């Protein structure tokens, strides 16, 4: 038995279960040169929200009534391709199906003796996003102060730890007391702020960063970012990684005009897409693996069980129900 999840509607505001459609489909059989892949783990990510809309972006939108897709770990269960044998595990951008065939292009083998899910998180796009954004735009120097929003999430928790490795004072912003506690106890952040219970975020950031903020790694945008940016120092750097607080907005929100502050402080604000740095990925993965092996990087995962739960796990990202990387185990 095989199943697929299709995009049923383009969501308006928050995505809903009715925006997805499950269908039973035939079990494919690999032709010469192909492999049959059994989906093992599915990554759900905030950026998929952008692909559900048809607004112009850096990646093509999903098509209506066509399969959703994301980064997946799959097992090779039949092989007509000499490069893959039964029992190999691979990662690739694949469709939300229980089984699918592939001609092998774009599949990367993963080492099952390392945690498979790490290839969707700390050793995958998540870890590389954290490393590239911080290294290439944040350019941290020892003794500087780094603030990370979305800090207890997949990318944010890695950013803060890399900041600590680089010698920064690190402050995290997250949405629950449990997350704030974990930022300090598990991930080694110096300070953490619960944005949901803090009345004046600008004052809270000022108190946590007595020397001001030199680098802001922004995963969320909106009011949280305004509060951080007005605490930044001369030559401050802002890496805009994500703006999840606005992904479900139906109207563009209006915030304070930042340009005069950015001008007066000679600051840099730069957005990035991790694939901008694709030429640095091999070296990045090597670095992340070395830190993981040395116990310098910790990561959290929220693993949800069942193919049928993929849409809900995705929607739960917008409610902050994940600690670290949200993954669905099939
Ligand atoms: N530029 C790139 O190439 C790239 C690559 C990967 C990811 N990203 C972006 O990086 C960000 C983090 O991605 P991720 O995969 O690591 O996801 P994640 O942080 O693991 O999950 C999303 C988190 O966002 C927080 N959140 C949800 N709604 C929010 C709101 N309205 N205001 C503030 N926080 C909110 C929630 O945590 P709380 O409980 O703390 O609210 C939630 O756990 C996203 O914006 C994503 O789009 C960018």
pLDDT above 90: percentage of residues in the chain: 96
pLDDT category, 54, cuts 50, 70, 90?
very high
Residue 41 pLDDT > 90: yes
Query: Which pLDDT score is estimated for 51?
Result: 97
Apex 120 CA angle, 116 and 121, nearest 5: 105
Pocket of ligand 1 (CB under 6 A): 45-47, 125-126, 129, 150, 152-156, 174-176, 179, 219-220, 224, 241-242, 244-245, 272-274, 317-318, 320, 322, 326
Q: For the chain, which residues make up each domain, given as ranges?
A: 2-121+299-329, 126-275
For ligand 1, the distance from its centroid to the CA atom of residue 11, given in whole angstroms, is: 18
Mean pLDDT, to the nearest integer, of 10-19? 97
For ligand 1, the distance from its centroid to the CA atom of residue 176, given in whole angstroms, is: 14
Q: What phi and psi values does residue 153 have, to the nearest 5 degrees?
A: -85, -175
Taking CA atoms only, the protein residue closest to ligand 1 atom 36 is: 320
Atom of ligand 1 lying closest to residue 276 CA:
3
Residue 191 pLDDT > 90: yes
CATH superfamily, domain 2-121+299-329, is: Medium-chain alcohol dehydrogenases, catalytic domain (3.90.180.10)
Mean pLDDT, to the nearest integer, of 150-170? 98
Mean pLDDT, to the nearest integer, of 231-258? 96
Query: Which pLDDT score is estimated for 95?
Result: 98
For ligand 1, the distance from its centroid to the CA atom of residue 282, given in whole angstroms, is: 24
Query: Which pLDDT score is estimated for 112?
Result: 83
Could you tell me where the beta strands, DSSP code E, fall in 175-220? 191-194, 213-218
Query: Which pLDDT score is estimated for 321?
Result: 98
For ligand 1, the distance from its centroid to the CA atom of residue 254, given in whole angstroms, is: 20
Atom of ligand 1 lying closest to residue 241 CA:
1
Atom of ligand 1 lying closest to residue 156 CA:
16
Residue 233 pLDDT > 90: yes
pLDDT category, 243, cuts 50, 70, 90?
very high
| 19-28, 114-123, 227-236, range with the lowest pLDDT | 114-123
Mean pLDDT, to the nearest integer, of 279-293? 96
Mean pLDDT, to the nearest integer, of 310-325? 98
- Strand, coil or helix: what is 191? strand
Nearest Cα residue to 30 out of 22, 38, 19, 20? 38
Atom of ligand 1 lying closest to residue 196 CA:
41
pLDDT above 70: percentage of residues in the chain: 100
Residue 114 pLDDT > 90: no
Mean pLDDT, to the nearest integer, of 243-262? 95
Mean pLDDT across the chain, nearest whole number?
97
For ligand 1, the distance from its centroid to the CA atom of residue 203, given in whole angstroms, is: 23
Tokens of 146: 């780094």
For ligand 1, the distance from its centroid to the CA atom of residue 245, given in whole angstroms, is: 8
CATH superfamily, domain 126-275, is: NAD(P)-binding Rossmann-like Domain (3.40.50.720)
CA 78 – CA 1 distance, rounded (Å): 16
Query: Which pLDDT score is estimated for 148?
Result: 99
**Which residues neighbour 269 within 8 Å (Cβ) at sequence distance 6 or greater?**
237, 238, 240, 258, 262
**pLDDT digit string, tens, across residues 3-14:** 999 999 999 999
Query: Which pLDDT score is estimated for 308?
Result: 98
For ligand 1, the distance from its centroid to the CA atom of residue 74, given in whole angstroms, is: 25
Query: Which pLDDT score is estimated for 318?
Result: 98
CB atoms within 10 A of CB 88: 18
Residue 113 pLDDT > 90: no
CA 37 – CA 94 distance, rounded (Å): 10
Residue 222, classified by CB atoms within 10 Å of its CB into exposed (0-12), middle (13-18) or buried (19+), is middle
Taking CA atoms only, the protein residue closest to ligand 1 atom 22 is: 317
Taking CA atoms only, the protein residue closest to ligand 1 atom 18 is: 153
């Amino acid at each position: 038995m095989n199943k697929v999840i299709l995009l049923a509607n383009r969501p308006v505001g928050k995505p809903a279960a009715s925006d997805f459609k499950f269908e039973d489909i035939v079990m494919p059989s690999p032709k010469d040169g192909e492999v049959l892949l059994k989906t093992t783990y599915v990554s759900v990510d905030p950026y998929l929200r952008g692909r559900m809309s048809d607004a112009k972006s850096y990646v093509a939108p999903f098509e209506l009534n066509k399969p959703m897709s994301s980064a997946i770990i799959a097992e090779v269960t039949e092989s007509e391709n000499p490069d893959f044998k039964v029992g190999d595990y691979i990662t690739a951008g694949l469709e939300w199906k229980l089984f699918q065939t592939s001609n092998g292009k774009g599949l990367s083998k993963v080492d099952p003796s390392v945690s498979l899910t790490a290839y969707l998180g700390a050793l995958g796009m998540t870890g590389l996003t954290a490393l590239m954004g911080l290294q290439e735009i944040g350019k941290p120097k020892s003794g500087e102060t780094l603030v990370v929003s979305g800090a207890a999430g997949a990318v944010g928790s890695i950013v803060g730890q890399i900041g600590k490795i680089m010698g920064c004072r690190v402050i995290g912003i997250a949405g629950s007391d449990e997350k704030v506690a974990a930022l300090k106890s598990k991930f080694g952040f110096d300070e953490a702020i619960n944005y949901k219970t803090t009345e004046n975020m600008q004052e809270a950031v000022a108190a946590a960063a007595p020397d001001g903020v030199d680098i802001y790694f922004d995963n969320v945008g909106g009011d949280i970012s305004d509060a951080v940016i007005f605490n930044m120092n001369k030559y401050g750097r802002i890496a805009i990684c994500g703006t999840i607080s606005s992904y479900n907005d139906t109207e563009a929100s209006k915030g304070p005009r930042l340009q005069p502050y950015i001008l007066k402080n000679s600051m840099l604000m730069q957005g990035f897409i991790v694939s901008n740095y694709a030429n640095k990925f091999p070296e990045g993965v090597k670095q992340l693996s070395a830190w993981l092996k040395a116990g310098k990087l910790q990561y959290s995962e929220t693993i949800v069980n069942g193919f049928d739960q993929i849409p809900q796990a995705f929607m739960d990202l917008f409610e902050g129900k994940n600690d670290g990387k949200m993954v669905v185990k099939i």
